[in-house]
Amino acid sequence: MDVMDAIKNRKTTRAFLNKPVSKKDIIEVLNAARSAPSGSNLQPWEFWVVTGKEKDDIVEKLLKEQEKTGITYSPGKGRTLNERYTERSNSFVMKILPYIKKAGIDDPNWIIHGSLSFYGAPVIILLLFDEESNSNEINMGLALQNILLSAHNKGLSTCPLGLPLIFEDLIKNHLKIPKRLRLSNIVAIGYADTENPINKFKSERVPLDEITKFIGFVEDF
Ligand SMILES: Cc1cc2nc3c(=O)[nH]c(=O)nc-3n(C[C@H](O)[C@H](O)[C@H](O)COP(=O)(O)O)c2cc1C
């Protein structure tokens, strides 16, 4: 698959089939992840892959904890977003809502509950950042994108998840993850339920000229 095709056509999946993913496929995806560049080649990551009952137990604990605490997610991590980002966040919600409705979902907190249950994906990949590396978490983003694109290349679908990080300690305690490893992201991975209307949603991007400055260019060539 052409790299630009993969970049353009990858998208977040929020409904997965109850179909297992082979360990061989996951290993290929993780080989792409560990091929990512990192500052001074420190490779400050570990990838923990969870499936089956262990994954289901985590989902149960997360949903219970959310119900108990009532903690919800806000895109500004608790801080009020400025106008520009409030608008982008609201626009995302407004545009995905019709698809949620079409899927027959009437839970107003579906994004929260869906994220905490990994949208039914059979496998999750925990991206763990080693704080002892004293490096930058940007490295984790590069590994994350390699996971998303290589999965797409193999016909697998993904949802990168930040929301479950609000219960990072719960997840770390459950899996006995060492303190030095911080949870950067969780990728839900599996086969997309292509019939589900929620997966027909395609997010938009702001136009290039809104986010770009060309400096020192004399001609448009
Ligand atoms: C770091 C990160 C965290 C994310 N966390 C969540 C999440 O918790 N729940 C969710 O439904 N989507 C989550 N997403 C998916 C984004 O909403 C999605 O990438 C964005 O809307 C753009 O859509 P696309 O991935 O289909 O291009 C996350 C994406 C990233 C990169």
Which of 11, 109, 161 most suits a substitution to test ligand 1, by most atoms within 8 Å of the C-beta?
A: 161
Query: Is 83 a member of any domain?
Result: no
Q: Is the dihedral angle over the CA atoms 136, 141, 146, 147 positive or is it negative?
A: positive
Rg (CA), the chain: 18
The one-digit pLDDT tens for each residue of the chain (221 residues) are 899 999 999 999 999 999 999 999 999 999 999 999 999 999 999 999 999 999 999 999 999 999 999 887 677 666 788 999 999 999 999 999 999 999 999 999 999 999 999 999 999 999 999 999 999 999 999 999 999 999 999 999 999 999 999 999 999 999 999 999 999 999 999 999 999 999 999 999 999 999 999 999 987 76
Number of domains in the chain: 1
Domain enclosing residue 199, as ranges: 3-73+112-211
Which pTM was predicted? 0.96
What are the structure tokens assigned to 153, written together? 């290349």
CATH of the domain at 205: 3.40.109.10
Query: Is 161 a member of any domain?
Result: yes
Which of 77, 159, 202, 206 most suits a substitution to test ligand 1, by most atoms within 8 Å of the C-beta?
A: 159
From the CA of 201, give the closest atom in ligand 1.
26
Backbone angles phi, psi at 148, to 5 degrees: -60, -45
Compute the distance from residue 171 Cα to the ligand 1 centre, in Å: 19
Query: Is 194 a member of any domain?
Result: yes
127, 154, 112, 122: which is closest to 21 by C-alpha? 122
* pLDDT at residue 125 in the model: 98
Query: Is 168 a member of any domain?
Result: yes
Query: Is 98 a member of any domain?
Result: no
Report the side by side order of strands in the sheet with 123-130.
45-51, 123-130, 181-190, 157-161
Query: What is the dihedral angle through the alpha carbons of 18, 194, 26, 112, rounded to the nearest 10 degrees?
Result: -70
SS3 per residue for 19-30: CCCCHHHHHHHH
| Straight-line distance from the first to the last Cα atom of the chain, in angstroms, rounded to the nearest whole number | 28
Query: Is 81 a member of any domain?
Result: no
What are the structure tokens assigned to 107, written together? 């839970």
Query: Is 164 a member of any domain?
Result: yes
Query: Is 103 a member of any domain?
Result: no
Compute the distance from residue 218 Cα to the ligand 1 centre, in Å: 38
